[in-house]
Amino acid sequence: MVHDRDVNSLKRAAADAAVALVEDGMIVGLGTGSTAVFVVEAIGKRVRAGLRVVGVPTSANTSEQARALGIPLTELTEEMRVDLTIDGADEVEIDSLDLIKGRGGALLREKIVASASERLVIVVDDSKIVERLGRGALPIEVVPFGWRATMHKIRDLDAIPSLRKGPDGSPFISDGGHYILDCVLSGGCTPASLAPKLDSVVGLVEHGLFLGMASQVFVGGADGVKVLSRR
């Protein structure tokens, strides 16, 4: 049985290895989620040791953590180019390095920052590596107004959506003020074919398919940290 403590040690090892890529003077995208917490922690240690960087956080939680660790932050602007973003992922397809992200609820901001980055580096433990995307839910962020109509359109694309709810049973609200639909992909639904169809759905803000975006994946496992690179 794998305990949370063991998984966290794998995440931390992979995060420490990835953060070694951060160089003085960089603008660094700071991801969101249970693995990104270790990334931000590792960057904070290097900042306290003298590293000069500026972070672009992808969520309120990440922003709060980074400020507490003394990492200078900025907002993403039109002319800004992020040198490197380090983030986690919910699934990594081993051959393509395509990703599913967003189960932590920050997929829109994560994708905005990733798309503005020279490099997107992903940090995961080895349980997140899959042969084919879709083992778990695909998060989709939607506008609250008319969300049921949007959900119906998504269902027509052979994805089975359900509204994410918070602990009190009310709809989960993202940092952007949107709802999230968690979708089960049907067996005949491939990410490459689904992504452009989702992009055309009115009311859909963003989806958690990050295709062709990651350049490297740092994978923490029992035998150490392995680095997968896009072919």
Catalytic sites, residue numbers: 110
Tell me which H or E stretch contains 16. Answer: helix 4-19
- Which residues does residue 139 pair with via DSSP β-bridges, in sequence order? 182
The C-alpha atoms of residue 203 and residue 209 are separated, in whole angstroms, by 17
Q: The tokens of 108 are what?
A: 């829109």
The C-alpha atoms of residue 114 and residue 108 are separated, in whole angstroms, by 10
Rounded to 5 degrees, what angle do the CA atoms 36, 56, 12 make? 20
Q: Could you give phi then psi for residue 112, rounded to 5 degrees?
A: -60, -45
Beta strands at 129-130 and 159-163: parallel, antiparallel or unpaired: unpaired
